[in-house]
Amino acid sequence: MGNWKTIEGGVCAAQGFAAGGIHVGVKSHNTEKKDVALIVSETPCSAAAVYTTNAVKAAHIHVDKAHLANGIARAAFVNSGNANACAPNGEQHAETICAAVAKAVGCAAEDVICAATGVIGQELNVGVIVSGIPALYASVSAAPEGSDAAAHAIMTTDTRKKELALETKIGGKTVRVGGITKGSGMIHPNMGTMLCFVTTDCAISPEMIREALLETVKVSFNRISVDGDTSTNDTFCVMANGLAGNPEITEKNADYAAFVEALKAVCIPLAIAMASDGEGAKHLITCEVTGAASEGSAEAIAKAVISSTLTKAAIFGADANWGRVLCAMGYSGEQFDPDKVDVGFASAAGEIPVCAAGRGIAFDEDLAKKILTEHDVVIRIAMGEGASACTCWGCDITYEYIRINGDYRT
Amino acid sequence: MGNWKTIEGGVCAAQGFAAGGIHVGVKSHNTEKKDVALIVSETPCSAAAVYTTNAVKAAHIHVDKAHLANGIARAAFVNSGNANACAPNGEQHAETICAAVAKAVGCAAEDVICAATGVIGQELNVGVIVSGIPALYASVSAAPEGSDAAAHAIMTTDTRKKELALETKIGGKTVRVGGITKGSGMIHPNMGTMLCFVTTDCAISPEMIREALLETVKVSFNRISVDGDTSTNDTFCVMANGLAGNPEITEKNADYAAFVEALKAVCIPLAIAMASDGEGAKHLITCEVTGAASEGSAEAIAKAVISSTLTKAAIFGADANWGRVLCAMGYSGEQFDPDKVDVGFASAAGEIPVCAAGRGIAFDEDLAKKILTEHDVVIRIAMGEGASACTCWGCDITYEYIRINGDYRT
């Protein structure tokens, strides 16, 4: 492992950040559920975000792109329960929210970014949100409870909150990086992700925070899939307020490398947690591809495997149907020689090779069943083509996924 | 409708073709199920086939490509129960089967093509197949019962046999075209399809039959999806023995156009039947895209919608969640203005617009539920971009799909 240690506090771990989450009634029939979250920095932050590549984008994305044009932000607001995508007056409502948050925080509206997650196509009840912002701001706390409340407020069908923080040394100073995320369904990020907010007290320029974010998303959120559906709302944002007091990172030096390492160490586990908590999931599926011709090829193959509905159904049934793994590899678009491929399954219960040189080999079905009955299952693929590797994460598809998504709006 | 009429007889409708199907024990624990099929022409046929684009290909595909290099075939053999893909001695077994069929029929082994469908990765029990070929050949009949037996023998998890035949006039003669197909799961054809065999007594050259096949597959089997998984075994083959006595089609003239029209009239309904009988499906989903910038763009968008797991789950739940339709359109890779898109749902129970100019509109939820409860559901999308259109077909995703695929091998 890297040169850091895990700490408490999520997005409140870094100095100068506070967060909170309350219920205001975005989705009126679910009164117990926190539905708005706020993250605030005492001082202006270098900030950057990436968004969904979906051609249909939520309203907040257009607003955030404008607000982050200068690379500076103070606060991030999120509502769950309504995606504010393909909905009447979406951008206007997003701007209204940013203005209301700015008024509470005491900053310019352009220094506020906002995000939303939930049902697509219904007009946002902006009135209840704006009315609730003073109470939301009053609730923010720099204690771990603040991050906990925010992490809960951004959840939709997630069953577990997802937050993580760590500290490391950069430029002789202690730097903290922490994040919260939500995932669950419509998860197949592509150069963006579902909602993820990371805060840090590292001193780093807007240009370098953007570079660090792009490097990180490629190896974290872009390597997971729940259901192959790339959302309209995916947003991954990093805010760095510089209060750690390290020499500001303005180029790709050793400090930059240390920061990227820390950022990845927060985001990769959060991405895995998102895959593991995929809607209805009973298994986290890790696909490790080694011996590939290139990292890109390994990634495309691993992603095809974890995205394959048939492979996901086989893991749900603890069925060692490795033919589906080869089938998914084959339609990944990558060129390779199937006759060099080895496949095995592994978990805490053991490891079993099932295919050697592209051909089925006799294996102990009982052991295979035992291995695949574990929650965390690994599909190991050795390509025999080269020296590159990549790991991607997904989950199985279950009756529960279909139940949830057969009746999502009501 | 075109200038043809539907007739009985499937692949036996055309003059000079006979077919049959029996149980020999490919999958020993399922003794009731016919598992080998044979289609034979009295005389040599112009023949062509397309196959899966999956990089991992079943053994029969390599053998068939060699056997069809001269564009001539007499017989087609199929086994279900074992895909003969990624399995030991696959090509050798396929050649052994072709030789055994050739001996029974009295032709060269190179004039026999073979195909397989079933579990990937297990060695084919070639012994029981070869032993059974004399009985299989003895069972073939030119009566409709012959096609019926073959159509049943190629089924795997299909719940209904799929066959269709029609007759039309070409060059002053009556020409018949008939086909059988199997589908069900691992259905996301790409320049190939699942197993489909079409026979015709049309006189047409090997070059022109190949052209006609390529034109047809684009608008039939390549416009359906069950689960986004492109199989290792997809094979679509057309055999034309010329016994109708029409002037041989050797160029793209009016007779060629009439033949292609007839071939499409057989294959499009067979493709739709395959989508409708997708594993576990409770709904046939038709996505009609109009007003697109190009036919290619319309096709990519329609295919993204019918392939979207979330849209499929919403239709399963009869939930008019049109936001998922826009989301899928958005990640299709096509450029369009979401603010021009109209979406509606239709079925035998009525039609209801749910989105206009990219924004949700108020609609009667009870009527929407009633519309979506029908078996055949249509998603109508008007793009407002141009004058091109395309229709694709898929099915919903259900508990039953997961049950079937959670334990497919046993």
Which of B87, B336, B408 is facing A359, going by the closest CB pair? B87
All residues of chain B having their beta carbon less than 8 Å from the beta carbon of residue A368 are none
**8 Å CB contact between A267 and A220:** yes
Q: Is the pLDDT of residue B227 over 80?
A: no
Together in a domain, B290 and B370: yes
Q: What is the DSSP string of B179-248?
A: EEE--SSS---SSS-SSEEEEE---B-HHHHHHHHHHHHHHTGGGB-SSS---S--EEEEEE--TT-PPP
What pLDDT sits at residue A379? 97
| Residue type, position B238, single letter | V
What is the pLDDT at residue A407?
72
Q: Cα(A247)–Cα(A255) distance, rounded to whole angstroms?
A: 9
CB contacts of A397 in chain B (<8 Å) are: 309, 402
Can you tell me whether residue B359 is helix, strand or coil?
Answer: strand
Q: How far is A164 from chain B (nearest CA, A)?
A: 29
Nearest residue on chain B to A325, alpha-carbon basis: B120
pLDDT in tens, B192-208: 457 888 999 999 999 99
Same domain, A225 and A364: no
pLDDT digits (tens, 9 = 90+) for B127-138: 999 999 999 999
Q: Which of B276, B298, B322 is the last residue of a domain?
A: B276
**A199/A208 Cα distance (integer angstroms):** 15
State the sign of the Cα–Cα–Cα–Cα dihedral A43, A46, A52, A56: positive
A351/A248 same-domain check: no
B389 contacts B290 by C-beta, under 8 angstroms: yes
Question: Is the domain of B221 the same as that of B323?
Answer: no
**What is chain A's length?**
410
User: What is the average per-residue pLDDT within B333-347?
Assistant: 94
> What is the spatial distance between Cα A307 and Cα A290, in angstroms, rounded to a whole number?
18
- The SS3 assignment for A35 reads coil
* Tokens linked to A104: 């509470």
Residue type, A350: G
If asked whether residues A245 and A333 sit together in one domain, one would say no
Q: Please list the pLDDT of chain A residue by residue as tens digits (410 residues).
A: 467 899 999 999 999 999 999 999 997 666 788 999 999 999 999 999 988 888 888 999 999 999 999 999 999 999 998 999 988 999 999 999 999 999 999 999 999 999 998 888 889 999 999 999 999 999 999 999 999 999 999 988 788 888 999 999 999 999 999 999 887 766 666 544 578 889 999 999 999 999 999 999 888 888 888 777 777 778 888 999 999 999 999 999 999 999 999 999 999 988 888 888 888 899 999 999 999 999 999 999 999 999 998 899 999 999 999 989 998 999 898 999 999 999 999 999 999 999 999 998 999 999 999 999 999 999 999 999 999 999 999 999 998 888 888 876 65
Mutate to test the interface with B, among A301, A331, A400 (most CBs of B within 10 A): A331
Residues 6+ apart with CB under 8 A from A192: A50, A51, A52, A53, A217, A221, A234, A235, A236
- pLDDT score of B192: 47
Tokens of residue B196, six digits: 């489909």
Give residue B157's pLDDT. Answer: 79
Token pair recorded at residue A240: 């760095």
pLDDT of A341 reads 95
Q: Where does a domain end: B276, B293, B309? A: B276
Q: Which of residues 213-252 of A touch B (CB under 8 A)?
A: 227-232
Grouping H, G, I as helix, E, B as strand and the rest as coil, residue A327 is: helix
Q: Are residues A266 and A308 in the same domain?
A: no
Instruction: Respond yes or no: is residue B193 known to be catalytic.
Output: yes
Q: Given A276, A308, A331, which residue is the final one in a domain? A: A276
Same domain, A13 and A151: yes
Q: Is the pLDDT of residue B150 over 70?
A: yes
Q: What's the pLDDT score for residue A29?
A: 65
When pLDDT is averaged across residues B241-253 and rounded to a whole number, the result is: 94
Q: Which of B87, B88, B313 sits opposite A406 (nearest CB)?
A: B313
Cα–Cα distance between B115 and B138 in angstroms, integer?
Answer: 20
Verify that A121 and A143 share a domain, yes or no.
Answer: yes
What is the 3-state secondary structure of B144-158?
HHHHHHHHHHCCCCC
Q: Would you state the pLDDT for residue B190?
A: 55
Q: Does A357 touch chain B (CB under 8 A)?
A: no
Residues of chain B numbered 278-317 and touching chain A (CB < 8 Å) = 307-310, 313-314, 316-317
Residue B14 confidence (pLDDT): 94
pLDDT of A191 reads 44
Which among A314, A331, A405 has the least Cβ separation from residue B408? Answer: A314
Q: Taking all residues of chain B, what is their mean pLDDT, rounded to a whole number?
A: 91
pLDDT at B221: 87
- What is the pTM for the complete model shown? 0.82
Please give the residue range of the domain that contains residue A89. Answer: 4-276
Looking at residue B1, its pLDDT comes to: 47
Q: Is the pLDDT of residue B191 over 50?
A: no
Identify whether residues B257 and B373 lie together within a single domain.
no
CATH of the domain at A387: 3.10.20.340
Among residues B96, B117, B168, B193, the one annotated as catalytic is: B193
* pLDDT (0 to 100) of residue B187: 66
Cβ contact B120–A55 (<8 Å): no
**CB distance B239 to B14 below 8 Å:** no
Contact check, Cβ <8 Å, A121/B185: no
- pLDDT at site B53: 80
Residues B43 and B136 occupy one common structural domain: yes
Are A300 and A219 in the same domain?
no
Interface list for B 149-178 with A (CB within 8 A)? none
Q: Which phi and psi angles does B169 have, rounded to 5°?
A: -105, 130
pLDDT score at B408? 66
Do A60 and A128 belong to one domain? yes
- CATH classification of the domain holding A106: 3.60.70.12
Put simply, whether A345 touches B (Cβ < 8 Å) is no
Looking at the annotation, which residues of A are catalytic? 193
- Consecutive H or E run containing A375: none
Residue B29 has what pLDDT?
Answer: 65
Q: In the structure encoding, which two tokens stand for residue A60, read together?
A: 């907040």
How many domains does one find in chain A? 2
